[in-house]
A and B are shown apart, each in its own frame.
Chain A
Amino acid sequence: MDVNEVRKCFPALTREIYGRPLVYFDNAATSQRPESVMDMLRLSGLHSNANIHRAVHTLSSEATDLYEKGREAVRSFINASSGEEIVLTSGTTASINILAHGFCGSLLQDGDVILLSEAEHHSNMIPWMLCAAGKGIAIKYIPVDGTGHLDMESYVRLLESSNVRLVSVPHISNVLGIVNPISEIISLAHEHGAYAIIDGAQGIVHEDVDVQRLDCDFYVFSGHKVYAATGTGVLYGKSSLLAELPPLMGGGEMVGTVTYQGTTFAPLPLKFEAGTPNFAGCSTFSPALEMASLCRDEGIRRNVLQMTEYLESELLKIPGLHLLGTGEGKAPVFSFAVEGAHHEDIALLLDKMGVEVRSGLMCAEPVINKFGYTGVVRASLAPYNTVRECEYFMRCLVKALRMLS
């Protein structure tokens, strides 16, 4: 399939910015949305709008149906064994907060160690810090080497030397753009009696995810980075573990029987879906993941590979440019700093040429500081981007750097 077939589905891609064709390279923050997703949001909001899982009337059952189809789309996309294992949340951050609360409040004990990597998004750090505080649960970090790859030898040493009960790492770091060897990470965690959580916020966009084959205990991601509506997310968990974890929030339909003395919980996955869920948003998982499947087409994959190889080699040709994360397993996420040019200046100038990139700390301050920078520019691609856009981006970058020198 040709990438232009995919592009047709995203109206925003035909926009102009300051009179120049939009080149959207901030996909790691959020993706553009296909028309099919907005159609679903409209249908849900204007036609089949009623609160789900409660009423016996037709509108409610239509809305429930759309919501549950969204869940089924997620289940099938990551090959979970049952819909019970798919908790719909508001995003990756919410999913990790549920896990941090549940683990630190119940499954972990004094003296246990949580292992994260040095290249975490704040969303896979702060919830653990908050929940572990004052409980005698320690957090340690797997080092990342100079090329942005996890130091697997150190990982094994950490597993052997301390009482690691839980490992939570990104599938792909949102800064370094390196695909971590998660199969190996998961099996090593299990060999040492630790649970394995994968932050798939970036991974779900670029990698095939089969949670049964991976055998991860949890896999979490956001909808808005894979074309779905904002405010949607997924917490996949093995049902035996989800059953053990206490819910973070209470209220709404997450209950079994409530008395003045206490409550029992609804069966999985509703136990974790307190209050009225974002049913309109979660309905869009169906068309969004259909799009994500389309983007797994061989021609589209080839396009992504070409863009990735092109940008990695072209960026490294620029004198004074430092690329964070290079070599094996490079995903199309390029964070870089250029000597003598401030990241904010570069991003501002690129915007004036129609190229949208991020600048700053990417919600991952520790790893950017570790590499010695106070901020970086990040160009992150989606399968709908093109090699021509990459070529234009490089010309604009060279021009911006010339202006700033």
Chain B
Amino acid sequence: MTLIEEERSVVEEFSVLEDWMDKYEYLIELGKSLPMIEESSKTEANLIKGCQSRVWLNSSFSDGKVFFTADSDAIITKGIISLLIRVYNGRTPKEILDSDFSFISEIGLKENLSPTRANGLVSMIKQIKEYALAYSLKQ
């Protein structure tokens, strides 16, 4: 699946969840199923600033593609991260940098996008883009 196709599939999944509680229940489920990252990756350097919950985002680069692992102490945040990883994992830096991340607002999490929101979705997206940018410069 391309990045765009993956985005569409996420949007479709959420479109059947009309009630807010259902959406959050699904995010919690996703959060619980997000593979744990190595304790050694939970470093100060990987900690995303600006979140009420603690979020660690670790990245690696191979064959021209970016790979992410992440964790958080808050489960809903983990659920959101797992969506981001699903869409952006294994993409080229260019694909990531070209993405407008609009699927987040399409699935109704736009409120979480405001820069002042404590849960720091904006900080996560910024960090994903920064990693992509750094790898694109290395190429």
Is B53 at the interface (CB under 8 A from chain A)?
yes
Is B48 at the interface (CB under 8 A from chain A)?
no
Contacts known (A342-B53, A344-B53, A348-B119); A403 close to B73, Cβ less than 8 A? no
Instruction: Enumerate A328-346 residues with CB–CB distance to B below 8 Å.
Output: 342-345
Asked whether B74 lies within 8 Å of A344 as measured between CB atoms, the reply is yes
Is B97 at the interface (CB under 8 A from chain A)?
no
Is B52 at the interface (CB under 8 A from chain A)?
yes
Is A18 at the interface (CB under 8 A from chain B)?
yes
Give the distance in Å from the alpha carbon of A18 to the alpha carbon of B20 in the complex.
8
Asked whether B20 lies within 8 Å of A352 as measured between CB atoms, the reply is yes
Is B76 at the interface (CB under 8 A from chain A)?
yes
Asked whether A342 lies within 8 Å of B73 as measured between CB atoms, the reply is yes
Asked whether A342 lies within 8 Å of B25 as measured between CB atoms, the reply is no
Asked whether B76 lies within 8 Å of A348 as measured between CB atoms, the reply is yes
Query: Which among A352, A359, A375, A404 is the interface contact of B75 at CB below 8 angstroms?
Result: A404
Asked whether B28 lies within 8 Å of A344 as measured between CB atoms, the reply is no
Give the distance in Å from the alpha carbon of A352 to the alpha carbon of B20 in the complex.
6
Contacts known (A344-B76, A345-B74, A352-B20); A375 close to B52, Cβ less than 8 A? yes
Q: Which of B28, B53, B77, B119 has the most CB of A within 10 A?
A: B53
Question: Which chain B residue shows the least CB distance to A18?
Answer: B20
Asked whether A360 lies within 8 Å of B21 as measured between CB atoms, the reply is no
Asked whether A342 lies within 8 Å of B74 as measured between CB atoms, the reply is yes
Is B4 at the interface (CB under 8 A from chain A)?
no
Q: Which residues of B contact A375 (CB under 8 A)?
A: 52
For chain B, give the interface size range: 10 to 19
Asked whether A345 lies within 8 Å of B21 as measured between CB atoms, the reply is no
Contacts known (A375-B52, A403-B28, A404-B28); A344 close to B77, Cβ less than 8 A? yes
Q: Which residues of A contact B118 (CB under 8 A)?
A: 344, 359-360
Give the distance in Å from the alpha carbon of A345 to the alpha carbon of B25 in the complex.
11
Q: Which residues of B contact A359 (CB under 8 A)?
A: 52, 118
Chain A 336-375, CB within 8 Å of chain B: the 1/0 string?
0000001111001100110000011000000000000011
Contacts known (A359-B52, A375-B52, A404-B75); A344 close to B119, Cβ less than 8 A? yes
Chain B 1-45, CB within 8 Å of chain A: the 1/0 string?
000000000000000000011001100100000000000000000
Give the distance in Å from the alpha carbon of A235 to the alpha carbon of B125 in the complex.
43
Q: Which of B25, B54, B74 has the most CB of A within 10 A?
A: B74
The 9 residue pairs across chains A and B that have the minimum distance between CB atoms: A342-B74, A352-B20, A344-B74, A344-B53, A344-B52, A345-B76, A345-B74, A360-B52, A18-B20
